């Protein structure tokens, strides 16, 4: 065996060293490359939004704020959703100076209840003509808030994952149908329910005429089907016989009168956005996970598009085909509990009356 | 005279401990405030001053920073009180 002479008296590495070296350098190369490319991807996203953060902000202005709803992916824990948000959504929001609040729905229906209540409060405030209670955040007595700042409205509802998205949309629809009265005064008016079927829908110019003096209108025998084409002027809130649970709103000039008792729309809906969350789990998917870990920039790009859209705040109406989204996520709903959800999974539906007023962010 | 005397007595009864506690409290609040200003300033305000106003990014950062500070402060305080249990410190 002839040994080849290497310069400077170096010896050729042994077989073991070669194997060791190639493994170490291979893995560290992959890690380095993964970090490098995802950093570049992040930078590309940041470049599109940082101008938003560099604008000056007046003393009495508030930055935009979005609410993010996360739910645990089926068959897994909440932590996965949190990490997904932290890794892919939050950096862009941070760079774009969009304030955010994360709300977690641990159990099925939590998010729905939160959104439902929010919409209900909005409708109630609009009907009574008062500001919603959350606006009074700056307490006059508190030393830490001497200047009453204009509290901004929640400027976007973001749902991460199909589970959360379904609950958000259901919550929006249910919030529009929920009775406006609080639970405790629910059973006060038995006689109002008795006359409810012969009540008249009389258009009123003012939006907060729900005092009992309106009872005089109920004598008119006209029904709501005849009333509908008569009402021409837009944005008239129709109140009936002082009963809060029955109201009909005119939306865009069309009378909306339905069988459900208390359907009305709040003055405005925040834009909604679905952000996919592919929670890749399962033994067979481990190679794919490894690949995704090495090529993290793909996910950064993919999810980053959505968060950039949220930051840039360009809106468009919510289309029908944007409601039942997230089918690809279902592939990774593994495990007993998830299997149950998978079999119970129905297409996400949304009432058209609500959908027409919803907007979403435009992805470029 | 009686009014003055009454006021004086009330002051007497308030003075020794409560004033000290109030001072301590004020110290604590001042200390908290200084800490907040320190850490949030270093965290959020960039050293490249480009405009006299706060930028959006800076103000969002400060907002969150202060909120987090108070949050943690309250949580730690709560925990300390729990750990103190029945016996008050000193």
pLDDT tens figures, B5-44: 555 555 556 778 889 999 999 999 999 999 999 999 999 9
Confidence of residue A246 (pLDDT cuts 50, 70, 90): very low
A154–chain B nearest CA distance, Å: 15
Task: Report chain B residues whose CB lies below 8 A from the CB of A152.
Answer: none
Q: Where are the alpha helices (DSSP H) in chain B?
A: 2-44, 56-84
Chain B CB within 8 Å of residue A98 CB = yes
Which residue segment(s) compose the domain that A94 sits in?
Answer: 20-54+63-134+151-178+264-361
Domain annotation covers residue A123: yes
- With 0-12 / 13-18 / 19 or more C-beta atoms within 10 angstroms meaning exposed / middle / buried, residue A69 is buried
**Section A201-208 average pLDDT:** 40
Confidence of residue A186 (pLDDT cuts 50, 70, 90): very low
E-state strands within A174-279: 202-203, 237-239, 247-251, 254-256, 272-275
Residues 177-196 of A with CB under 8 A from B: none
Decide if A54 and B55 are in contact by the 8 Å CB cutoff.
yes
Q: Is the pLDDT of residue A190 over 50?
A: no
**Structure letter (DSSP) for residue A129:** T
Model pLDDT, residue A204: 40
Looking up tokens 């109140």, which residue turns up?
A239
Model pLDDT, residue A139: 52
Chain A CB within 8 Å of residue B60 CB = yes
Query: For residues A63 and A61, what is the distance between their CA atoms, to the nearest angstrom?
Result: 7
Domain annotation covers residue A240: no
Stronger pLDDT, A38 or A209, i.e. the higher one: A38
Confidence of residue A360 (pLDDT cuts 50, 70, 90): very high
* Residue of B50, B55, B64 lying closest to A57 (CB–CB): B55
Query: For residues A262 and A40, what is the distance between their CA atoms, to the nearest angstrom?
Result: 51
* Residue of A52, A63, A94 lying closest to B59 (CB–CB): A63
Domain annotation covers residue A13: no
Decide if B60 and A54 are in contact by the 8 Å CB cutoff.
no
Domain annotation covers residue A30: yes
CATH code at A86? 3.40.50.10330
Q: Is the pLDDT of residue B76 over 90?
A: yes
Asked if residue A297 lies in contact with residue A38, where contact means CB atoms within 8 angstroms, the answer is yes
Query: For residues A324 and A162, what is the distance between their CA atoms, to the nearest angstrom?
Result: 9
* A237-246, A323-332, B2-11, B59-68, range with the lowest pLDDT: A237-246
Confidence of residue B47 (pLDDT cuts 50, 70, 90): confident
Q: Provide the mean pLDDT of chain B.
A: 82
Q: Is the pLDDT of residue B61 over 70?
A: yes
Model pLDDT, residue A12: 85
* Pairs across A and B, CB distance < 8 A: 40
A65–chain B nearest CA distance, Å: 9
Please name which of A195, A250, A199 lies closest in space to residue A222, comparing C-alpha atoms: A199
A67–chain B nearest CA distance, Å: 14
- When scoring A62, A97, A100, A147 by the number of chain B Cβ atoms within 10 A, the one with the most, hence best to mutate, is A97
Model pLDDT, residue A23: 98
B60–chain A nearest CA distance, Å: 6
Query: For residues A323 and A359, what is the distance between their CA atoms, to the nearest angstrom?
Result: 12
Query: For residues A68 and A84, what is the distance between their CA atoms, to the nearest angstrom?
Result: 12
Q: Is the pLDDT of residue A62 over 50?
A: yes
Q: What share of chain B has pLDDT > 70, as a percent? A: 80
Asked if residue A6 lies in contact with residue A12, where contact means CB atoms within 8 angstroms, the answer is yes
Asked if residue A363 lies in contact with residue A306, where contact means CB atoms within 8 angstroms, the answer is yes
Model pLDDT, residue A138: 47
Q: Is the pLDDT of residue A271 over 80?
A: yes
Query: For residues A105 and A113, what is the distance between their CA atoms, to the nearest angstrom?
Result: 9
Q: Is the pLDDT of residue A254 over 80?
A: no
Chain A CB within 8 Å of residue B59 CB = yes
E-state strands within A116-235: 157-160, 202-203
Chain A CB within 8 Å of residue B57 CB = yes
Chain A CB within 8 Å of residue B64 CB = yes
Task: Report chain B residues whose CB lies below 8 A from the CB of A66.
Answer: none
Domain annotation covers residue A47: yes
Q: What share of chain A has pLDDT > 90, as a percent? A: 41
* A108-122, A206-220, A339-353, range with the lowest pLDDT: A206-220
**Section B84-90 average pLDDT:** 62
pTM score of the predicted model: 0.71
What's chain A's length in residues? Answer: 364
A101–chain B nearest CA distance, Å: 10
Report in angstroms the alpha-carbon separations of A67 from A102, A111, A280.
6, 11, 25
Distance of CA A186 to the CA centre of its chain: 30
Domain annotation covers residue A7: no
Chain B CB within 8 Å of residue A68 CB = no
Domain annotation covers residue A225: no
Report in angstroms the alpha-carbon separations of A31 from A24, A85, A91, A144, B17.
11, 22, 20, 46, 62
Confidence of residue A364 (pLDDT cuts 50, 70, 90): confident
Tell me the HSE value of A107 on the side-chain side, using a 13 A CA sphere.
Answer: 3
Decide if A57 and B54 are in contact by the 8 Å CB cutoff.
yes
Confidence of residue A149 (pLDDT cuts 50, 70, 90): low
- When scoring A54, A86, A143 by the number of chain B Cβ atoms within 10 A, the one with the most, hence best to mutate, is A54
Q: Is the pLDDT of residue A25 over 80?
A: yes
Task: Report chain A residues whose CB lies below 8 A from the CB of B57.
Answer: 50, 53-54, 94-95, 97
Query: For residues A240 and A259, what is the distance between their CA atoms, to the nearest angstrom?
Result: 14
Stronger pLDDT, A20 or A211, i.e. the higher one: A20
Model pLDDT, residue A147: 52
Q: Is the pLDDT of residue A250 over 50?
A: no
Chain B CB within 8 Å of residue A97 CB = yes
Task: Report chain A residues whose CB lies below 8 A from the CB of B53.
Answer: 56-58
- With 0-12 / 13-18 / 19 or more C-beta atoms within 10 angstroms meaning exposed / middle / buried, residue A248 is buried
Q: Is the pLDDT of residue A215 over 80?
A: no
**Section A240-260 average pLDDT:** 42
Distance of CA A110 to the CA centre of its chain: 13
Domain annotation covers residue A324: yes
What are the phi and psi torsion angles at A90 (to 5°)?
-60, -45
Decide if A95 and B57 are in contact by the 8 Å CB cutoff.
yes
Stronger pLDDT, A283 or A154, i.e. the higher one: A283
Residue B17 CB neighbour total at 10 angstroms = 9
Model pLDDT, residue A353: 86
What is the number of structural domains in chain A? Answer: 1
Q: Is the pLDDT of residue B88 over 80?
A: no
**Section B39-64 average pLDDT:** 88
Strands A237-239 and A202-203: antiparallel
Q: Is the pLDDT of residue B85 over 90?
A: no
Stronger pLDDT, A282 or A232, i.e. the higher one: A282
């Amino acid at each position: 065996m002839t040994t080849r002479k290497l310069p400077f008296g170096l010896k050729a590495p042994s077989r073991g060293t070669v194997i060791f070296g190639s493994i170490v350098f291979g893995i560290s190369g992959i890690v380095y490359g993964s970090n490098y490319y995802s950093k570049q991807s992040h930078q590309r996203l940041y470049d599109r939004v940082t101008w938003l953060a560099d604008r000056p902000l007046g003393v009495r202005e508030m930055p935009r704020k979005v609410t993010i709803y996360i739910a645990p992916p089926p068959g897994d824990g909440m932590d996965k959703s949190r990490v997904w948000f932290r890794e892919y959504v939050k950096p862009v929001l941070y760079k774009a100076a969009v304030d955010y609040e994360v709300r977690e729905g641990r159990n099925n229906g939590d998010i729905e209840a939160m959104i439902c209540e929010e919409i209900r409060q909005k409708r109630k405030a609009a009907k009574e003509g008062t500001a919603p209670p959350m606006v009074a955040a700056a307490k006059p007595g508190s030393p830490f808030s001497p200047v009453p700042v204009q509290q901004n409205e929640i400027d976007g509802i973001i749902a991460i994952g199909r589970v959360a998205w379904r609950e958000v949309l259901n919550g929006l629809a249910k919030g529009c149908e929920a009775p406006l009265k609080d639970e405790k005064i629910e059973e006060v008016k038995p006689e109002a329910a008795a006359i409810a079927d012969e009540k008249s829908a009389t258009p009123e110019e003012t939006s907060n005429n729900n005092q009992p003096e309106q009872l005089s209108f109920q004598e008119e025998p006209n029904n709501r089907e005849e009333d509908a084409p008569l009402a021409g002027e837009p944005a008239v809130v129709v109140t009936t016989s002082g009963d809060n649970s029955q109201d009909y709103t005119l939306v865009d000039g069309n009378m909306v009168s339905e069988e459900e008792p208390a359907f009305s729309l709040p003055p405005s809906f925040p834009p909604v956005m679905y952000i996919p969350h592919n929670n890749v789990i399962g033994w067979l998917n481990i190679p794919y996970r490894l690949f995704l870990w090495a090529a993290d920039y793909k996910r950064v790009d993919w999810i980053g598009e959505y968060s950039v859209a949220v930051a840039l705040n360009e809106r468009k109406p919510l289309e029908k085909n944007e409601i039942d989204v997230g089918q690809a996520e279902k592939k990774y709903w593994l495990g007993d509990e998830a299997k149950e959800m998978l079999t119970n999974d129905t297409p996400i539906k949304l009432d058209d009356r609500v959908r027409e007023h919803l907007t979403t962010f435009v992805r470029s | 005279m009686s009014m003055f005397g009454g006021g004086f007595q009330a002051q007497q009864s308030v003075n020794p401990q409560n004033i000290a506690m109030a001072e301590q409290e004020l110290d604590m609040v001042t200390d908290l405030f200084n800490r907040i200003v320190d850490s949030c300033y270093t965290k959020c305000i960039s050293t490249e001053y480009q405009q006299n106003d706060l930028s959006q990014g800076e103000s969002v950062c400060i907002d969150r920073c202060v909120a987090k500070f108070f949050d943690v402060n309250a949580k730690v305080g709560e925990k300390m009180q729990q750990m103190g249990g029945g016996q008050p410190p000193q």
